[in-house]
Structure 1
């Protein structure tokens, strides 16, 4: 690590393999906390390179306790967080709507870092039991087309990493790594990022992976399709912008996406949307995200057709039934 730090302090960049090797050593406990803190600080003092992020992603994925759910052709819909918008759990709700449409969801998530309720918070509150047992995860998929991989159960290397992150008290590249290291290696992913810099990092990394992906960034700062402004969309080999009209939906005012101030309030919004009792704005934003996710699975379909599929899942109660099936 001493040599790596000196190399970085001289203004050099790491290759993907060098970045991977450095973080593998950290994750295996081979370096002191002071050395690791110095390493993290380098990437606060200068912009992170996409090649470096790809290497860090490769290391954390290799260090994870991976689970083979490939037979389910799973999908994950997830945002990096950190947008400071405190929205309700849009991505997690979209997962259940997609599950209700017949697509298996292998969602990776954690407790909230910057909002009041992360995916782990709301699912735990509603009664979902976290587990790393493959039989439980497969059972959930068979019952409700959904299973949840609670991040702390799948990333043992974090015992060497988390204390330094807590001590530093500033965001690091780990704040955007989470969505990239789903230990089930889903076949499909919809990934939300909160700024244009991270959009390009994600696009560059995912172009190198064998995953069907869509990267979304609402240009007013949301890490998901918010319908409050145009959405920047990155797909394999292409990029474009989407408006609310592209989804055949109306624009939404930001205050309509507020997720409450407690986990209890977040859970109430969550269940009300699945029960068909959410506001028009809440419902439409969930449909937009679910619709795009369905188009990733069915690229031959029009986006509005995929939104209609999502609406049918919600209106028929299939999305709600998927939730009920995995929390009984």
Structure 2
């Protein structure tokens, strides 16, 4: 590690193979906490390069609990976190809307970072049993249309960096890894990013692979479509902005997206959305994100048609039916 640290501190960067090899050794516990902390500090001083991120991603996917759901056309909707907006669980709610519309969703998530409640908090609160039993997850995906990968169960190698991350008390490169290390490598991904720099970085990583993807960033700082202003989006072939009016909605105020002050607050909002008893603003922002998920999977469909599908899935209680069935199955 000493030679690598000197190399990096001199302003150099790693190629993909070097990055993959180094992170594999870190995950396997070959270095001390002090060495790992020094390594992570490099990427607080400068942004990680796309080739480095690709190598780090490859290492974690190689080490994770493997999930082969290649027989399904799947999607994950996830944000990087780190936007500091404390929104309710928009991405997670959007996943149930997508499943309600008939699309197969393999949601990958963890406990909250930039908000009081992450995807794992919601699934856990409503009684979902975290598992890495592939047969159980395949049955859920096949029969219900959605399953959930609680990240710590699928990335056991991350335990070796956990103490260092907790001791540092700052965001590290591992915070941006979650959205790109779904253990089943879904064929489609809608990924929200907390800033345009990370958006461009992810685009370079995804461009080098064969996944179908769409990246989004609300230009006022949200890591998802917020409807509080324009949203930048990027696919393999298109880069443009979308306004709330493009979805057929009026602009929202930031306070309308608040997730509250506790997991219980966020859960109450989530349940109200599933029951179509939430505010129109809360329902609209979920519909907008689900609509982009549909368009990510079906780029031939117009945005208005995708909004229509998502609206029908939510307001027709199809998302609620999926949510109820999944929770009751556990």
What is the distance in 1 between the residues matched to 2:158 and 2:52?
Answer: 19
The match for 2:303 is: 303
Q: Runs (4+) of structure 1 moved beyond 2 Å?
A: none
Task: Show CA shifts across 1:85-122 (max 9, x none).
Answer: 11010000000000001101000000112211101001
Contact 1:64 1:183 in 2 (8 A): yes
Matches within 5 A, 1:303-322: 303-322=303-322
Gaps of 5+ in 1: none
Match in the other structure for 1:76: 76
Q: Write the deviation string for residues 9-44 of structure 1: whole angstroms up to 9, x where unpaired.
A: 211111111111110111111111111111111111
Partners of 1:159 and 1:98 in 2: CA distance: 32
Q: Counterpart of 2:265 in 1: which secondary structure?
A: helix
For residues 9 and 315 of structure 1, what CA distance do their matches in structure 2 show? 54
What whole-Å deviation, never above 9, does each CA across 1:151-195 have from its counterpart, x for those lacking one?
010001111111111111111111111000000110110000011
Alignment of 1:260 onto 2:260: yes
Alignment partner, residue 179 of structure 1: 179
Question: Alignment partner of 2:239: what SS?
Answer: strand
Give SS of 2:240's match: strand
Q: Is the contact between residue 64 and residue 155 of structure 1 (CA under 8 Å) also seen in structure 2?
A: yes
Matches within 5 A, 1:136-175: 136-175=136-175
Give distance in 2, aligned partners of 1:170 and 1:123: 26
C-alpha deviation, 1:294, in angstroms: 0.2
Return the offset for 1:300: 0.8
Distance 1:156 1:279 in 2: 39
State the alpha-carbon separation in 2 of the partners of residues 142 and 61 from structure 1: 23
Deviations 1:194-241 (A, max 9, x none): 111111111111111111100000000000000001000010033111
* 8 Å CA contact retained: 1:143, 1:325: no
CA distance, structure 2, for counterparts of residue 214 and residue 92 of structure 1: 17
Does residue 130 (structure 1) correspond to residue 130 (structure 2)? The answer is yes
Counterparts of 1:146 and 1:302, CA distance in 2: 24
TM-superposed deviation, 1:47: 2.2
Residue range with higher mean Cα deviation, 83-92 or 158-167: 158-167
Any conservation in 2 of the 1:64–1:154 contact (CA below 8 Å)? yes
On the 8 A contact 1:143/1:326 being kept in 2, the answer is no
| 1:95-244 → structure 2 map (5 Å cutoff) | 95-244=95-244
> Aligned partners of 1:46 and 1:262: how far apart in 2?
34
How far, CA to CA, are the matches of 2:23 and 2:131 in structure 1?
26
Write the mapping of 1:13-52 to structure 2, written as runs, cut at 5 A. 13-52=13-52
- Distance, in Å, in 1 between the alignment partners of 2:325 and 2:135 is 16
The answer to whether the Cα contact below 8 Å between 1:8 and 1:42 also exists between their aligned partners in 2 is yes
CA distance in 1, matches of 2:80, 2:155: 17
Contact 1:98 1:293 survives alignment (8 Å): yes
How far 1:59 moved relative to its partner? 1.1
Mapped partners of 1:8, 1:145: distance in 2: 45
**C-alpha distance in 1 between matches for 2:276 and 2:10:** 58
Residue matched to 1:282: 282
Assess if the C-alpha contact under 8 Å between 1:140 and 1:147 holds in 2: yes
Q: Distance in 1 between matches of 2:46 and 2:101?
A: 44
- What TM-score, normalized by structure 2, do the two folds share? 0.98
Q: Distance in 2 between matches of 1:311 and 1:238?
A: 25
RMSD: 0.9
Aligned mates of 2:197, 2:203 — CA distance in 1? 10
Residues 286-318 of structure 1: CA deviation (Å, up to 9, x unaligned): 000000100111111101100100011112111
Structure 1 residue 143, shift from structure 2 partner: 2.8
1:284 and 1:114 map into 2 onto residues whose CA distance is 22
Number of positions where the alignment pairs a residue of Structure 1 with one of Structure 2: 328
